Structure 1
Amino acid sequence: MATGTTDSTDQAGPSGAPGPGGVRFDDITATRRPPGPRLPTAVQTLLFGSFRHRWLPRLRARYGDVVRLRIYPNRSVVQLADLEHIRAVFGGSPALMHAGEGNAILKPLMGPHSVLLTDENEHRRTRRLLMPAFNGAALRGYREMMTDLAEREVRRWPASRPIRAHERMQALTLEIILRVVFGVAEGARLDELRTLLRRVVDVGPLDMIGWYNRTLQRIGPWRRYTRQARRVDELLYAEIAERRAAADVADRGDVLSRLLTASRTAAADGEAEPLSDAELRDQLVTLLLAGHETTATALAWALHELAADPARLARARRAADESDETYLEAVAKESLRLHPVVAEVARRVTRDIEIGGYRIPAGHTVMPSIALVHADAGHHPDPTRFSPERFLDSGPATGTWFPFGGGARRCLGAGFSLLESTIVLRAVLSHHHLTPGRRRAEGTKARNITLVPAHGVRLVPTPRHTG
């Protein structure tokens, strides 16, 4: 699931000369800090948390490609929008660019051992254990299950009555990831887990403040959220204990069984300590939450754009009928370009660096902006237009599309997500004609670290075939 750069090189030029895009990782000469707004931290946090899709482009227009922000809790963040700066960050040594620390905001939810929150040796160990569940052979094994669940879902849609596509895609992708992680999705424990996961992921910026404030966790909605998150942990630990005791765990192909088997093998060979229950819990939560929410949102946006464009809907429907997965994948990719679910990635720098003539001190977080690069007309002509054709033939220039991040930390689930999206789009379009369910254009709102359709993408599906 990981492609891109290795764990080795820094990107400074020889003898400390500037690297690509005016980037120095050694022999820092700059003394200026990046420019940025002087608003109080609380105000910047609110703007970033709730309105970043509108606020950050304005900051770039005012201050340029390198902008400093102050975000709660105690984060000095530097937004990057220049492609060469971003390439240098992705190509930098993981010892210098700590993605795990950059994602620290997720720690209360994902847990300290999550593959998203670890760095260097611990991250490499965890990633190595997870990779077999998402390689090419594993993906081929998931195809039939994904197809069956997608077909079952779309056949249940009411004829010629509005649905909220985002909700339906969330339900479907959750079913898929439950089966991938646990091998099954039946039973009282998983029924309860399914319900709770939907509630845990449905948080806004104010909810996230409670993650860091124990006082808030004892009152109102924060107390309810904390109780639900703890119940998720109880269910996961029960599932882990049951799976550890299973006699056939080595013969199962689900992620939990694969992790247990790989961990035992590595421990027996003296390569690593076996995974603890807490480590397993953190990986499972990460996969369950990150493995369904982002894909569901991307699919909802794709259906929204197709319903609003009859010509492209017809082209995509023909692709579904002809099993043209190249075009359907292009639809999914263009959805992720036009509506990035995660607007940025983060790396905490472990020592001073220089980017664009500015000094970025150790401890600051650099934030390559997916959204700003994807919306840049210099990289994607007519960037506000939905055009899957961009991704046919050679596609956009390398590095101008990175919804799954980049470098050594590129998302393990990229291939899984694109395969899932292609299969689901084919199922939907094979069975239904789509029309918009509301006259006004769908807006965007921030929810936790993601950007989602503000009104859930209301669509009217009409069966293509009757009888």
Structure 2
Amino acid sequence: MTPLEPDQMAANDAQARALTVRRYEKMRPMATSRTRVALAGLPPGPGWPASLQSIALLRFRHRFVPWAHRRYGDVFTLRVLPQGRPLVLFTRPEHAREIFAGDPEVFHAGKGNAILGPMMGEHSLLLQDSADHKRARKLLMPAFNGHALREYAALVTDVAAAEVDSWLPGESFSALERMNRLTLEVILRVVFGVSDESRLAEMRPLVNKVVDISPAILFGHGIPRLQKVGPWKAAVENSVELDRLIYAEIRGRRAAVDLAERTDVLSRLIRVGSEGADDDQLTDEELRDQLVTLLLAGHETTATALAWALYELGRSPELLARSRSAAREGDHDWLEAVLKESMRLHPVIPMVVRTLMKPVTVGGYDLPAGATVGPSIIIAHSRADNHASPAEFRPDRFVGGQPATNTWIPFGGGVRRCIGAGFSLMEGVAVLREVLSDFAVESWGTDSPKVRNITSVPSKGAIIRVSR
């Protein structure tokens, strides 16, 4: 990257700050609508104040949602901020099918993910709807097709092998911490395409602060005055610094002499549509928003699934032995089954949501425009009629077939199914192969989920002991 003059650097930094500040002002999740939604005729649900239900959903979802399911049945309504807006959760696969197959002009996923707006930005694939979403998905798809995934696999394997080589036989550590470190390196090297160690050292702590954000900070994004004080101000400043580095990386990559040969996701996205019309190309802001989306959606989610997988294998000598044999023999189907079962038993994301732009009927209920609806991943994955003995860790559920449609939904479904699903599974299999080829694992103690930002992670970090 060619060094810039001080005046140009200052101008670029000022521009990056202005873009970040504008994003926080524009994407306030509580400012999207002031229209109240009628509650009459909705499915039953708790009568608590919306503030308490919001806290319960954000902080205690693994107890609150199953309690509501037991208390109110397969369809129930929660009232959440802002303005006590209804969130109608469905728990049966036929209901999920209705929602995933719904008209994308009516079932808007972007508005349902509005709480992520200040971090991800208006161009994020998770926040766009209608024609904007269709265009963005079309532009991003080439970076996640089968050919691209095969090219990423070698680099993911190299990153995983370097991490595992640093482990010492007999040591105990948090699987979550190590997997977060590993998957962050994958994102920075494979997605962002950063290889310079000085830039990696700058980006790592900034990214970690974005990921390790509490629900209180996330909720505070909707209150402008909070962004000027304490931890909320620190979160904004961290975003400013991260954006500065990302925009600098985008500028440098556009000017790279080897851009045409590079295989990282950012370089692929820059090349998309380079020979077509301007509308077929991604602007710097669009690139920034999609990169941060891939970072937030693909970093901690995969790390958490891997941490739970190692924790569960460490509790079962039989499954561990079978998995180590699979790693040595190249049985990727079994390793993928281990990862999928980890995602089933320990959902990282609690639900898949859509906001209704028109009144519709779902599951026999007439629902008003403005309501948010969605399948509960927590309940879908724990129903005995979806998965036999659901409390048991049984990877063989995914061997020689798959669970019934819409009973396993960690990546959502329909036209909004996660674009990075294939990347996540490829990465998870590569990591498990490297770990289990070198080490046996033993879990220490018990663990349970806790909420961090919008994801759920092992509360104690999934402590494991590794041995040759």
Instruction: Compute the TM-score of the two structures, normalised by the length of structure 2.
Output: 0.89
Match of 1:33 in 2: 42
Contact 1:175–1:185 (Cα < 8 Å) also in 2: no
Matches within 5 A, 1:334-345: 334-345=341-352
Which of 314, 318, 331 matches 1:307? 314
| CA distance in structure 2 between the aligned counterparts of 1:426 and 1:365, rounded to whole angstroms | 40
Q: What is the deviation of 1:358?
A: 2.2
Tell me which moved more, 386-395 or 64-73: 64-73
1:404 aligns with 2:414: no
| CA distance in structure 1 between the aligned counterparts of 2:86 and 2:41, rounded to whole angstroms | 15
Match of 1:435 in 2: 442
Match of 1:10 in 2: none
Match of 1:92 in 2: 102
Contact 1:434–1:461 (Cα < 8 Å) also in 2: yes
Which of 446, 449, 452 matches 1:444? 449
Match of 2:14 in 1: none
**Aligned residues, how many?**
429
Which of 47, 50, 53 matches 2:59? 50
Match of 1:291 in 2: 298
Match of 1:238 in 2: 248
Contact 1:31–1:359 (Cα < 8 Å) also in 2: no
Q: What is the deviation of 1:273?
A: 5.6
Q: Which secondary structure does the structure 1 equivalent of 2:392 belong to?
A: coil
Matches within 5 A, 1:239-388: 239-267=249-277, 272=279, 274-388=281-395
Q: Which secondary structure does the structure 1 equivalent of 2:274 belong to?
A: helix
| CA distance in structure 2 between the aligned counterparts of 1:253 and 1:356, rounded to whole angstroms | 45
| CA distance in structure 2 between the aligned counterparts of 1:83 and 1:234, rounded to whole angstroms | 44
Contact 1:34–1:359 (Cα < 8 Å) also in 2: no
Match of 1:414 in 2: 421
Match of 2:187 in 1: 177
Q: What amino acid maps onto 1:256 in structure 2?
A: L
Q: What amino acid maps onto 2:347 in structure 1?
A: P
Match of 1:20 in 2: none
Q: What amino acid maps onto 2:44 in structure 1?
A: P
Match of 2:462 in 1: 457
Contact 1:31–1:358 (Cα < 8 Å) also in 2: no
Contact 2:312–2:443 (Cα < 8 Å) also in 1: no
Q: What is the deviation of 1:263?
A: 3.8
| CA distance in structure 2 between the aligned counterparts of 1:265 and 1:210, rounded to whole angstroms | 42
Which of 71, 74, 79 matches 1:65? 74
Cα displacement string for residues 239-292 of structure 1 (whole angstroms, at most 9, x for unaligned residues): 111122223323322222222211433326xxx263222111101111122121
| CA distance in structure 1 between the aligned counterparts of 2:60 and 2:202, rounded to whole angstroms | 33
Please provide the CA RMSD for this pair.
1.5
| CA distance in structure 2 between the aligned counterparts of 1:265 and 1:252, rounded to whole angstroms | 17
Q: What is the deviation of 1:357?
A: 3.1
Matches within 5 A, 1:99-110: 99-110=109-120
Contact 1:164–1:456 (Cα < 8 Å) also in 2: yes
Q: What amino acid maps onto 2:51 in structure 1?
A: A
| CA distance in structure 2 between the aligned counterparts of 1:185 and 1:117, rounded to whole angstroms | 29
Contact 2:348–2:455 (Cα < 8 Å) also in 1: yes
| CA distance in structure 1 between the aligned counterparts of 2:78 and 2:245, rounded to whole angstroms | 39
Q: What is the deviation of 1:31?
A: 7.0
Match of 1:81 in 2: 91
| CA distance in structure 1 between the aligned counterparts of 2:50 and 2:370, rounded to whole angstroms | 17
Q: What amino acid maps onto 2:73 in structure 1?
A: G
Q: What amino acid maps onto 1:454 in structure 2?
A: S
Match of 2:10 in 1: none
Q: What amino acid maps onto 2:437 in structure 1?
A: S
Match of 1:221 in 2: 231
Q: What amino acid maps onto 2:455 in structure 1?
A: T
Tell me which moved more, 189-198 or 319-328: 189-198
Q: What amino acid maps onto 1:87 in structure 2?
A: R
| CA distance in structure 1 between the aligned counterparts of 2:275 and 2:64, rounded to whole angstroms | 49
Contact 2:98–2:362 (Cα < 8 Å) also in 1: no
Cα displacement string for residues 360-419 of structure 1 (whole angstroms, at most 9, x for unaligned residues): 110111021111011000010000000001111123112211110000000011111111
1:204 aligns with 2:214: yes
Q: Which secondary structure does the structure 2 equivalent of 1:411 belong to?
A: coil
Q: 1:205 to 1:31 in 2, by over 3 A?
A: closer
Q: What amino acid maps onto 1:400 in structure 2?
A: T
Cα displacement string for residues 159-196 of structure 1 (whole angstroms, at most 9, x for unaligned residues): 21211110100111111111222323324233211221
Contact 1:78–1:365 (Cα < 8 Å) also in 2: yes
Match of 1:21 in 2: none
| CA distance in structure 2 between the aligned counterparts of 1:381 and 1:273, rounded to whole angstroms | 47
Q: Which secondary structure does the structure 1 equivalent of 2:97 belong to?
A: helix
Q: 1:265 to 1:53 in 2, by over 3 A?
A: farther
Q: What amino acid maps onto 1:250 in structure 2?
A: A
Match of 1:158 in 2: 168
Q: Which secondary structure does the structure 2 equivalent of 1:258 belong to?
A: helix
Q: 1:139 to 1:40 in 2, by over 3 A?
A: same
Q: What is the deviation of 1:80?
A: 0.9
| CA distance in structure 2 between the aligned counterparts of 1:346 and 1:54, rounded to whole angstroms | 19
| CA distance in structure 1 between the aligned counterparts of 2:383 and 2:244, rounded to whole angstroms | 45
Q: Which secondary structure does the structure 1 equivalent of 2:60 belong to?
A: helix
Contact 1:298–1:332 (Cα < 8 Å) also in 2: yes
Contact 1:181–1:284 (Cα < 8 Å) also in 2: yes
| CA distance in structure 2 between the aligned counterparts of 1:247 and 1:102, rounded to whole angstroms | 41
